[in-house]
Structure 1
Amino acid sequence: MKKQILILVALFLSVQFLQAQKLTKNKKSLIKSIEKHQNALIEISDNIWQLAETAFEETQSAKILADYAEKNGFTVERGIAEMPTAFVASYGSGKPVISVLGEFDALPGISQKASPTKDPLVEKGNGHGCGHNLFGAGSLGAAIAIKELIEQGKIKGTVKFFGTPSEEKFFGKIWMVRAGLWDDVDVNISWHPSASIKADVQSSLALVDFKIEFFGQAAHASADPWNGRSASDALELYTAGINYYREHVKPTVRMHYHIQDGGQVVNVVPDYSRLWMRVRDTKRSGMMPVYKRAMEMAKGAAILANVDYKVSLISGIYEVLVNRAGGEIMQKNLELLGPIKYTESETAFGKKIQEVTGKEQVGMDSAINPLEKTKEHPGGGSTDVGDVSWNVANINLGVTTAPKDTPWHSWAVVACGGMSIGHKGLIYASKAMSMTMLDLFENPTLVTKVKDEYKLRKGDAVYKAIVPDGPPPIPKTK
């Protein structure tokens, strides 16, 4: 047994030695830089995790990231694209221009301590159930490492870090795209916390986000209900119609809604109701006809209930335009870095979360698998990175920050984002992204290859943002 252990240790060390030998001098410098900034990046992530600020209210979170970029020599422009919490940090000059995305907004109602059992930090408070506290910090670490190489004269070009607010609700990147912020960028890099490590060559779901309001006539629900026209009736008729419609849409379509106002008291025929609705599909071209039908159904519900109605577009996002050439570059760097290693206590933490959430207790998955085939119709969620990807060549990465099969947008992800499992993921993402960015800075042929695939996949399509006219829907200050 002892001999077997010695052999395994020797094999592990030999793999580590070979990986180190394949790292170029500049890539070793990137890793050294990220490790130098590691404690600060983790502190930034933890501070944002504690703040847990939601869409367009990430004032302190954005400031923490922007201030650290400024402290490290970046020129920072704040409040861009008419959004107070959006910013861009830039360094260098000339081509290529490589950008990296950073998100930092939380989700409402899923506050959680860094504990493997459900235990809110703040009762009914917010939490980073998608790991965006890690996202922003990890991306900034990659940008700083590249900036230091430019500063030392080892590479030439421009690096940009985009602080992008409100990914979870209003999709802030749409307004940043509309403002032309990626017009001079050659390639964009993005990552997302995940339950596995992969160069992400899968698309996402296109989405349209809209509000439906019904306006009726109030009346006493018992004394004279015949004098009322119920906005609540219209709402119920509408949701019934949507639920019947589910049988007649393609399997790739998703429709979901949230009733925001169905009336206030039981003894009044409600004169107002409101519904928040989303329609998704793997392709924008498939989503738009369903969206049109869903709007028409609002008119039908209003006619049946004899009330007035209004449909208001909130925003909408495109599916991600995949770039396999970029994915191949990222994949090679993941293979150079190898898997994340976890301690016994971290594995136990992950298994406890899996036990509590009813999953197989296998811990974290950080294996580096071969590059996947791109699916025509992937599942999953939606992201405003899609809109960026239709305006600039984009490379995506996923990195393990939670146990395998963890329910996303849940307390379990919040828990991991506030402790070492999440911390290891953000540092790993920093290294993988910076190494991929370096390949692009050092090799113009790779930039051309990535951009050529982007142009080929986009074809003759003309991007048009799915947002109403006017400024972003920034909440009014209380």
Structure 2
Amino acid sequence: MDKKAIRECVENYVNGIWKEMWNISEYIFQNPEVGMKEYKAAAVQCEFLGKEGFCVERSAGNLDTAFIGNYQRGEGPCIALFSEYDCLPDGLEHACGHNLIAAATMGAAAAAKRTMEEMDIRGKLMIVGAPDEEFTGGKITLLKKGCLDQVDAAMAVHPTSAMSRVAGGNYAYLTYQCEYIGKSAHSGSRPWEGINAQDAALLFFSALGCARQMLRDGVRINAYVKDGMQHEGTISAYAKLGCDISAPDIFMLEEAAKRIEQCFKCGAVGTGCELRFERKESSKNRIPNGVIGEVFRENCLAWGEPMMEGMPDDTGGEDLGDVSHVIPAINPHLTVLPERKISLHTPEFREHVLTPAGEHMCLLGAETLAATAVELMTQPELLVKAKEELQERLKSLYGKEYFKYQ
């Protein structure tokens, strides 16, 4: 395998379609769509993949805005590249840079396919458009519905700030919705007839404050009021809360979740309110893969990108975590602001998405994803090692093998 020849072929093709790639990025940025409503973003990517010769399945996994583009050349490994394209709510729009992810993935798809054709490389390329990464997690649904059963390795890229890196582990995530249903009454004339739902919420927050000291290191809790329905002179009959939990692994997450549920119950018992709570979105922590990560790092360095040493962990969450428990996967972070660190999901980060540094991230992401995918197809022994590494990491993290390859 000639790595240099692969990179040259990839680079030449990406340069040739760069304007079209960046048009996709700008189009998605200028037409922000929240999760499961990304109709324009999905359509423009499906159109691009179809034009490039992929067999495109729309509404993959019965998700309206999911898609899968397949290209197969003979028998060989199946490599999946994930596109993300949902925006954030509340005016933040593309403050997570998903427009860059989508454009980079489209460029990588086209360049990898062309390289397979020109160098007669055997394998299957699967481009997976996964909606609503930010909340319900489209990748999780596609995984559960068997859409990824053939995949040997999976990759994505994500914009970041400061130095680019091959990301290590991250946090598992779970969110609850809680409702307290009380009874309304006039707070001045007949308060004894009321059951105060806001008091139940206050008791929950008090119980949560006490519970924090018993949570393991690294567990993070974010609780908030979503609806209080308080009116002057009236005892509140309703309160809605949200509670987000994140933890370094799924066992610590479940342990914390049990305590949070007890805190919900405290509010109800202390006031007599009816309690309703349910789990909403959840995702597992990312399992890093050094075998695939090293191939990607080598490609980044070959294109002149400074890279952080090792595979540093972070405290974010993502739906690729669930995929990484079953399939060897990486999600490298490529910078749009090399000079300093800023937070994702902020107006400041959004400002850097369409800068020259954002263009660089998009271009580099396309090149490195494509080259890494093609290299893995030509070295099936690396995929064997990547799967072995995944099993070892799962055993080390959880104590025994919970996940088996079919």
Q: Could you state the TM-score of these two structures normalised by the residue count of structure 1?
A: 0.79
Between Structure 1 and Structure 2, how many residues are aligned? 397
Alignment deviations for residues 251-285 of structure 1 (CA, whole Å, 9 cap, x no partner): 21000023111124233222111111111110111
Task: State the partner residue of 1:386.
Answer: 321
User: Which of 310, 315, 318 is residue 281 of structure 2 equivalent to?
Assistant: 315
Q: Compared with structure 1, are the counterparts of its residues 31 and 157 closer, same or farther at alpha carbon in structure 2 (3 Å cutoff)?
A: same
Which moved further from structure 2: 215-224 or 159-168?
Answer: 215-224
Task: State the partner residue of 2:71.
Answer: 91
1:193 lines up with 2:159 in the alignment: yes
User: Which of 251, 265, 272 is residue 306 of structure 1 equivalent to?
Assistant: 272
Task: State the partner residue of 1:471.
Answer: none
1:106 lines up with 2:87 in the alignment: yes
1:462 lines up with 2:402 in the alignment: yes
Task: State the partner residue of 1:372.
Answer: 310
Q: CA deviation at 1:199?
A: 4.4
Measure the CA separation in 2 of the matches of 1:462 and 1:81: 24
User: Which of 243, 246, 249 is residue 280 of structure 1 equivalent to?
Assistant: 246
| Paired letter, 1:427 | L
Alignment deviations for residues 305-348 of structure 1 (CA, whole Å, 9 cap, x no partner): 11110111112111111111111111111111113xxxxxxxxx
Q: C-alpha root-mean-square deviation of aligned residues, in Å?
A: 1.8
The question of whether the paired residues in 1 share the 8 Å contact of 2:58 and 2:64 is answered with yes
- The percentage of aligned residue pairs carrying the same residue is 26
Measure the CA separation in 1 of the matches of 2:258 and 2:117: 52
User: Which of 143, 164, 167 is residue 133 of structure 2 equivalent to?
Assistant: 167
Measure the CA separation in 2 of the matches of 1:52 and 1:205: 27
The question of whether the paired residues in 1 share the 8 Å contact of 2:166 and 2:311 is answered with no
Measure the CA separation in 1 of the matches of 2:140 and 2:10: 31
Q: Give the secondary-structure state (helix, strand or coil) at the position aligned to 1:302.
A: helix
Task: State the partner residue of 2:99.
Answer: 133
| Paired letter, 1:382 | G
Q: Which runs of 5+ in 1 are unaligned?
A: 1-21, 110-124, 340-366, 465-478
Q: CA deviation at 1:80?
A: 1.8
Measure the CA separation in 2 of the matches of 1:436 and 1:178: 26
Measure the CA separation in 2 of the matches of 1:283 and 1:26: 37
The question of whether the paired residues in 2 share the 8 Å contact of 1:97 and 1:157 is answered with yes
| Paired letter, 1:86 | A
The question of whether the paired residues in 1 share the 8 Å contact of 2:167 and 2:333 is answered with no
Task: State the partner residue of 1:334.
Answer: 300
Task: State the partner residue of 1:473.
Answer: none
The question of whether the paired residues in 2 share the 8 Å contact of 1:183 and 1:391 is answered with no
Alignment deviations for residues 62-110 of structure 1 (CA, whole Å, 9 cap, x no partner): 111122111211111111223211111111143210001111111123x
| Paired letter, 1:462 | Y
The question of whether the paired residues in 2 share the 8 Å contact of 1:173 and 1:385 is answered with yes
1:229 lines up with 2:195 in the alignment: yes
Measure the CA separation in 2 of the matches of 1:171 and 1:266: 40
Q: Give the secondary-structure state (helix, strand or coil) at the position aligned to 2:359.
A: helix
User: Which of 17, 21, 24 is residue 44 of structure 1 equivalent to?
Assistant: 24
Q: CA deviation at 1:379?
A: 4.0
Measure the CA separation in 1 of the matches of 2:233 and 2:52: 61
Alignment deviations for residues 364-396 of structure 1 (CA, whole Å, 9 cap, x no partner): xxx334x3155xxx4421111100101111122
Q: Could you state the TM-score of these two structures normalised by the residue count of structure 2?
A: 0.93
Measure the CA separation in 1 of the matches of 2:148 and 2:332: 19
Q: CA deviation at 1:197?
A: 4.7
Q: Give the secondary-structure state (helix, strand or coil) at the position aligned to 1:286.
A: helix
Measure the CA separation in 2 of the matches of 1:208 and 1:426: 30
Which moved further from structure 2: 128-137 or 191-200?
Answer: 191-200
| Paired letter, 2:28 | I
1:28 lines up with 2:15 in the alignment: no
> Which aligned runs of 4 or more in structure 1 are off by greater than 6 angstroms?
none
Measure the CA separation in 1 of the matches of 2:78 and 2:163: 26
Task: State the partner residue of 2:35.
Answer: 55
| Paired letter, 2:194 | G
| Paired letter, 2:237 | D
The question of whether the paired residues in 1 share the 8 Å contact of 2:78 and 2:125 is answered with yes
The question of whether the paired residues in 2 share the 8 Å contact of 1:80 and 1:176 is answered with yes
Which moved further from structure 2: 450-459 or 313-322?
Answer: 450-459
Q: Compared with structure 1, are the counterparts of its residues 379 and 395 closer, same or farther at alpha carbon in structure 2 (3 Å cutoff)?
A: closer
User: Which of 173, 183, 193 is residue 207 of structure 1 equivalent to?
Assistant: 173
| Paired letter, 1:416 | H
